[in-house]
Amino acid sequence: MYIPEYFRNKNFNQQVDFIKENSFGILITHSEKEMFATHIPLTSLVIENHLVLYGHISKENQQCSTLINDSDALIIFSGPHCYISSSWYSHENVSTWNYQAVHCQGKIKIQSEIELLQSLMQLTDHYESKEEQPKFFEKIDPKVIRDNLTGILGFEIIVSNIDAKDKLSQNRNKKDYENIVTHLKKRDDAMSDAIATAMLKNKDKTVG
C-alpha cells in the first residue's frame, strides 16, 4: 500500500484497535497461477508484542488449497471512507478521497481441531456479548458444532508487517482542514461523519 509519511500511522496500539473495530477483513493468498480473496471476520490477540490473527474459511473454497503452513498471506482491513470535494479548499486543487485502512502481512499456520474450536468460541462470544439475549458458544448444540466443524479450515496468521494509512487531509493547512470537517458533518451520512470524527482526533497533525 502506498503511504506518504504524513498519512502513515506507526502507533501499534492504534493499529490493533483499528483491526478490532474493523474486523471483517479480506484474506488474500495466491497459488502459482492465480490470486484468491475471501471476505471473513477475524479475531486478534497480541502475544509477546506480536499481533496474531485468527480465522476460518469453508473447505469448499478454492482458496483452501493455498492455505498451508508458512505460506504468505495479506489481510486488508478497511475503515470509513468518503469523497472530499475540492470546492472546500481555499485554493485551486483537485478533489480526493479520505479513508483509513490497515494491511497485515504474515505467515499462515493451520489450526488443530482444538485450536479451531477455541477460535470459534472466541469469535462467537465476542459478537454475542453485544446481543440482548446472547447465545454463547457453550449454548450451541454440540452436534451442530461437530457438523459444521468438518466443513471449515481454521488458521492463524502471525503478522510480520503492518501498514496503516490514515488519509485524513493531514497535508492541508489548518483552515482547509477545519473547513473539510465542517462540510463532512453537514452531509449527515455515517461515512462522512466517521471521517470527520477521525479528522478531529488527528487535528494536530496538519502541515500548517
- Domain edges within the chain: 5-173
What class has domain 5-173? mainly beta
For the segment 82-118, what is each residue's pLDDT rounded down to a tens digit? 999 999 998 888 999 999 999 999 999 999 999 999 9
Q: Which residues contact 119 (CB under 8 A, 6 or more apart)?
A: 43, 54, 55, 56, 111, 154, 156
Phi and psi angles of residue 171, each rounded to the nearest 5 degrees, phi first: -85, 5
Q: Is 79 helix (H, G, I), strand (E, B) or coil?
A: strand
pTM of the model: 0.92
For the segment 16-54, what is each residue's pLDDT rounded down to a tens digit? 999 999 999 999 999 999 999 999 999 999 998 899 999
- C-alpha 167/C-alpha 60 separation (Å) is 37
